[in-house]
Amino acid sequence: MKKKIEENAIQLSKRLQMSKTLRDIFTSQDSTSLKIAFDALESPIAISEELLESDFNRYFIGPLSPIADPFSSIYLDELDQVMSKSTLKVRALYETMGFSFPQQNQIPDDHIGIELDAYYQLLYIEEVKNIDYLRELRHYFLHEHLNLWIPLFIERALACKEGPSKAMVYILTQLKSFLIRETNTQGVPA
């Protein structure tokens, strides 16, 4: 609780704010939390909470086969499987970074929301706490993992031809440009 208060009190950098917002979008569990996170992106798209959620579910959640499953294993290992090799590699990375994951073996460690959570927290200790101990691991995580699958995930989601959702396209574009900025300029706008 103390940490939450501290976090809110700090004016986060745009970079940190964006990683947090993207995390919040992909870890949202209901329409209200999704809408709050989406609004934080300050998109020009007006969309109701209900439609936003049903589009989000169609793209990433289900119950029908989502347009793009949000797990790295889908893109890096065998098609259509979770909890496979790359999931466990991410698990080992989290453990080495000093994280514990209470929902381990319930939510795959390589769910995009969890990965963005890790990335946000790593950035946070660097930017806000000035601790560099995990910087190299963060770079490794970005280049050797996130960049290997998230572009494929975005590509698959953007290829949706049946009823493309402007809101989802906006989220994916923001995610894409965040990744590009992190990769090329370490978050500094080019």
Return the residue of 42, 44, 46, 63 that touches another protein, per CB under 8 A. 63
Which two three-digit tokens encode residue 104? 């381990």
| Residues 123 to 152 in contact with another protein, rule: CB under 8 A | 124-125, 128-129, 131, 133-137, 139-140, 143-144
Of residues 93 through 122, those in contact with another protein by CB under 8 A are 93-108, 113-114, 117-118, 120-121
Point out which residues pair with 123 in neighbouring strands.
none
Provide, rounded to whole angstroms, the least separation between the CB of residue 70 and another protein: 10
Which one, of 77, 174, 28, lies nearest residue 90 by Cα? 77
Q: Are 165 and 55 in contact (CB under 8 A)?
A: yes
- Minimum distance between the CB of residue 180 and another protein, rounded to whole angstroms? 16
Site residues for another protein, 153-182, by CB under 8 A, read: none
- Given 40, 43, 45, 57, the residue binding another protein (CB under 8 A): 57
Q: Which of 17, 39, 78, 177 binds another protein (CB under 8 A)?
A: 78
Residues 142, 120, 63: CA angle, nearest 5 degrees: 85
Is 25 a binding residue for another protein by CB under 8 A? The answer is: no
CA dist 163 and 178 (Å) reads: 25
At residue 10, φ and ψ (nearest 5 deg) are -85, 135
